[in-house]
Amino acid sequence: MELHNLTPAKGSVKKRKRIARGQGSGTGGTSTRGHKGAKSRSGYSRKRAFEGGQMPLQMRLPKRGFKNPNRINYTALNLSRLQQLSDKFGMKEVSIDALYEKRIIKKGEKVKVLANGEITSAINVKVHAISEKAKSQIESKGGSVTLL
């Protein structure tokens, strides 16, 4: 066996069907497109979600609801999680940059502190939003809250 006599396995390579190359090719004339109609013409492409003239599904279903363009999505951070961070990393100040460094939030996310769980140490918190209960709990333990 040498490079010049290598061949692919029998039946593994098929010849390309050459369409619209005259009557002798067997695929001349209508070029396998049938007779007349949109599908036989050049430039034809069916529209997305076209159902043959039947009313499309997205038009049959009713419109519902409302998407508020001014909605602000916050990433929730519970007091129990703040306490974990304080215990694990020794964090006395929780800020957006510190949370991003520890990969708790992604870049550009807004954070809201919620009052689920207990906090036992004094922590200074710098976040975008905080619930009243969480704020009172943090301040009762000697911590401070700064809103960004």
pLDDT digits (tens, 9 = 90+) for 7-52: 999 999 999 999 999 999 999 999 999 999 988 999 999 888 899 8
Across the chain, mean pLDDT equals 91
CA gap 112, 114 in Å, rounded: 6
What Å distances lie between residue 52 and 4, 40, 47, 48, 135, CA to CA? Answer: 54, 16, 10, 11, 60
Residue 97 backbone dihedrals phi, psi, to 5 degrees: -65, -40
Domains located in the chain, CATH noted: 74-147 (3.100.10.10)
Nearest-CA neighbor of 116 among 86, 143, 83? 83
Q: Is the pLDDT of residue 76 over 90?
A: yes
Distance CA 137, CA 83 (A): 12
The letter for the amino acid at 13 is V
